[in-house]
Chain A
Amino acid sequence: MLNRRHLGAAVCAAALIGFAGSASADQWYIPLISKGFQHQFWQAVKLGAEQEAKKLDVKITFEGPETEAMVDKQIDMLSADLAKHPNAIGFAALDSKAAIPLLKKAQDEKIPVIAFDSGVDSDIPLTTCATDNLAAAGEAADKLAALIGDSGEVAVVVHDQTSRTGIDRRDGFVKRIKDKHPNIKIVDIQYGGGDHLKSAEIAKAIIAAHPDLKGIFGANEGSAEGVLIGVKEAKKKLVVIGYDSGQDQIDAIKSGEEAGAITQNPIGIGACVVASAVKALKGEKLPKTVDTGFYYYDKTNVDDPKVAAVLYK
């Protein structure tokens, strides 16, 4: 009786697997292991990869752990994908050192590894498709400075203090302010885990503590959207500069609540991984890094086709 039920579960799983479909044998198979899959940003990377895969007639899969803290789960994913003996692998390391033994294994089996989003501290990846986050956050600092008259107090809300992007965006912003905008003071840097609600609470607390605050930089989608909520709830007028896109941010920029944001090119990152992997498989030489670029967008250019193409909702 109970066994039949369990069998039912297995059949159910089988149906799902059938659903997932299978690839023809002669197609190249390239699994991409990202840092996550739920955020719109990763979905955009996935979309870019899928489009490129269709164009080049290769099969891809796209996976990432539930949170960017789950370093060991990501290693398990890499290990499972290697067991499938893929033709190449795309990998966005959460902690590059932790992944080195498995990447070495890939190298031994002559499976080309393409890094994306953040680099791996090793020469195993043939190339890295990523945004120059330091430069992009520096640009955010310049824009914020210009909008507040190059003096006054600002604060930063970052998604986390351990990931490469968190560190680079924070440091890129802080360094540019220090180097180029000596009259601006960064009064606080807080971390909200990229969570809207937490980031909103943080923004409100900062605003309460610093009544003269002129602007806030939110270092990723969740942080920026959280900051917007916080500013709205605190009933203040502040210059908010965000990062990445998403429906809320795009709407806020159009309505003027948010001054502008830096966008990476997630679709370009995804496409770059697949294209680079295929090039590697064809024996072509690859550059050490591919800068997939970034744009600053605000009310004036949010509908510009060049920008609109890389924004995700």
Chain B
Amino acid sequence: MAQTETAALGSGARAFGMRSRFFGASARQKLLAFTSLIILIVYFSFASPAFLLIDNVIGILQSTAVDGVLAIACTFVIITSGIDLSVGCLMTFCAVMTGVFLTYWQLPLWTGIFAALGTGTLSGMISGTLIAKLKIPPFIATLGMMLLNKGLSLVVSADKPIYFTDTEAFSLISQGSLIGYIVPAVPIPNGVLILFTLAFVASLVLNRTALGRYTFALGSNEEAVRLSGVNVDAWKITIYGLGGAICGVAGLLIASRLNSAQPALGQGYELEAIAAVVIGGTSLSGGAGTILGTIIGAFIMSVLTNGLRILSVAQEWQIVVTGLIIILAVYADILRRRKA
């Protein structure tokens, strides 16, 4: 509380100062995460010849695509010291809406893409409004939105998967391979390309735009930002809206990959996304974080899952190991903080 007051006496600029101090530390965490990823990859490649086979590498990349995109969505929100539990179920609802446009209404492909992005943005902005205007804590507001989206998915789809059999091009969004078209030896699916492109764009937004600056500032000291005359509510709604739009991308990716919108899917994905964000060095208390870190975090999760699977480790133990890694990563984050 005292801290808030002192910072409030200063100005928004002070919050930015804090940010740059955290930034160095966050780079260190990124390095740590990156080193862990390399160790995992080296270890698994020695442990099993199947691990580095091109098919398996593509499998890992593809399994990271959806989780990685969701994690990017969470990164923005978590940097503002908020949380978004609705990302998984929102992804599903976006996929279902695409199904409604393309399969139920037989509209052209681009409308389906807009349906997903629009649904995501709208839902995200509603979350943002609940948090900014009605002062509902983010955890509760997005928990409500999670259930709302989950329920709506089931209602709209009448509990059945919606298949995209009439829209052949739709499966290309995730399953086609532009890279494979140019270099046939590495058929990296488009879904992966979309993940990396989105990560690049998100990184620019976070580091080079006003939106990005306010994302960090809100997480560092919201009160200071408010006192310096910034419309905090509007930025919050925008940031949650952006997170929602990114969930729309995830919805397109998963629907395209499965060639269907699976209405019952989605719950549980938010926790994996949040885990990836935290492993990647973004602090749950806000104000620090990077997209690159999040992507590395997402890859640590998927490499670990795939590697343990390739080694035929019993599934029960796979879960134990994943839990240990998350705890270790967050503990490393705390140690880093203590030093900083």
Give A residues with C-beta under 8 Å from B: 2-3, 5-7, 9-10, 12-14, 16-17, 19-20, 31, 37, 61-64, 66-72, 75-77, 79-85, 95, 97-98, 101, 160-162
Contact = CB atoms under 8 A, between A and B. Distances in A.
A10 B63 contact: no
Interface of B: 32, 35-36, 39-40, 43, 47-48, 50-51, 53, 55-56, 59, 62-63, 66, 154, 159-161, 163, 175, 254, 257-260, 262-268, 305-306, 308-317, 320-321, 324-325, 328, 332, 335-336
B302 to A, nearest CB: 8
Contact of A84 (B50, B260, B263, B321): B50
Contacts of A161: 154, 159-160
A67 to B, nearest CB: 7
Nearest to B48: A84
Contacts of A77: 309
A31 B40 CA distance: 23
A10 B43 contact: yes
Nearest to A17: B311
A193 to B, nearest CB: 9
B258 A71 contact: yes
A20 B314 contact: yes
A85 B48 CA distance: 12
Contacts of B63: 72, 76, 79
Contacts of A9: 36, 324-325, 328
Given A97-B260, A162-B161, A20 B312 contact: yes
B160 A16 contact: no
9 contacts: A3-B32, A14-B43, A16-B320, A20-B312, A31-B312, A79-B62, A84-B50, A84-B310, A98-B259
Contact of B265 (A12, A16, A61, A71): A71
B103 to A, nearest CB: 13
Nearest to B258: A98
Closest 8 CB pairs of A and B: A83-B56, A161-B159, A69-B264, A79-B59, A98-B258, A76-B63, A80-B309, A69-B265
B7 to A, nearest CB: 30
Given A10-B43, A72-B257, A95 B262 contact: yes
